[in-house]
């Protein structure tokens, strides 16, 4: 059943059947909204699409990116983890690691950037993030040792 939100956007409850092609249209609309800076609308579109197929890792990744656009780090992290539970993409492990690095979860960031590199050893951004994490880890270990 569809519910009308205050701003006129449709919100579907889980298990509502969608018309053929509507999933693809929702994802496309969400991507356009995200690219245009309308992260709230993008989130609504991606969540509605996930009501149809909650196993689509790419939509979870897009949802996480929209949350990041609003600095909603915990929701972004949860969306990335959920997406990765369904489909493992090296770039998504990198994005998760970068987010975790940003919020200070360094051990988790290290684990996820390592997984990113395992899946895509040519990802230069992941390799640089790994190097920065190791540099900080070695520096912290050295400071601890000499204090």
What is the C-alpha to C-alpha distance for residues 109 and 96, in angstroms, rounded to an integer? 7
Supply the range of the domain harboring residue 128: 88-147
Per-residue pLDDT of the chain (147 residues; tens, 9 = 90+): 334 344 444 444 444 555 668 999 999 999 999 999 999 999 999 999 999 999 999 999 999 999 999 999 999 999 999 999 998 889 999 999 999 999 999 999 999 999 999 999 999 999 999 999 999 988 876 666 666
Distance from C-alpha of 58 to C-alpha of 128, rounded to nearest angstrom: 24
Query: Domain check: are 66 and 124 in the same one?
Result: no
CA–CA gap between residue 90 and residue 112 (Å, rounded):
9
135 located within any domain: yes
Q: Would 83 be classed as within a structural domain?
A: no
Q: Identify the pLDDT of residue 142.
A: 62
What pLDDT is recorded for position 139? Answer: 81
The verdict on 1 and 72 lying in the same domain is yes
Q: Which of 37, 53, 76 is the last residue of a domain?
A: 76
User: What is the rounded CA–CA span in Å between residue 114 and residue 66?
Assistant: 24
Is residue 82 situated within a structural domain? Answer: no
- Distances 108 to 93, 115, 143 between C-alpha atoms, Å: 11, 11, 21
Longest dimension (CA), the chain: 65
Overall domain count for the chain: 2
Q: What pLDDT, on the 0 to 100 scale, is given for residue 69?
A: 97
Q: Which CATH number do you get for residue 92?
A: 1.25.40
On whether residue 25 sits in a domain, the answer given is yes
Interatomic CA distance for residues 136 and 129, integer angstroms: 11
Q: Which of 76, 101, 122 is the last residue of a domain?
A: 76
pLDDT of residue 20: 60
Whether 68 and 98 share a structural domain: no
Q: How much is the pTM?
A: 0.74
Which domain-ending residue is among 14, 46, 76? 76
């Amino acid at each position: 059943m569809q519910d009308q939100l205050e701003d006129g956007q449709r919100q579907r409850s889980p298990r509502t059947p969608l018309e053929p092609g509507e999933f693809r249209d929702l994802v496309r609309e969400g991507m356009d909204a995200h690219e245009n800076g309308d992260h709230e609308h993008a989130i609504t579109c991606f969540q509605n699409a996930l009501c149809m197929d909650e196993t689509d890792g790419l939509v979870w990744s897009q949802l996480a990116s929209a949350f990041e656009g609003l600095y909603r780090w915990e929701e972004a992290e949860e969306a990335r983890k959920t997406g990765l539970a369904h489909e493992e993409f090296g770039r998504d492990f990198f994005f998760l690691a970068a987010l975790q690095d940003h919020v200070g979860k360094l051990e988790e960031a290290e684990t996820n950037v390592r997984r990113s590199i395992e899946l895509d050893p040519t990802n230069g951004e992941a390799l640089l993030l790994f190097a920065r994490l190791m540099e900080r880890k070695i520096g912290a270990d050295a400071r601890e040792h000499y204090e």
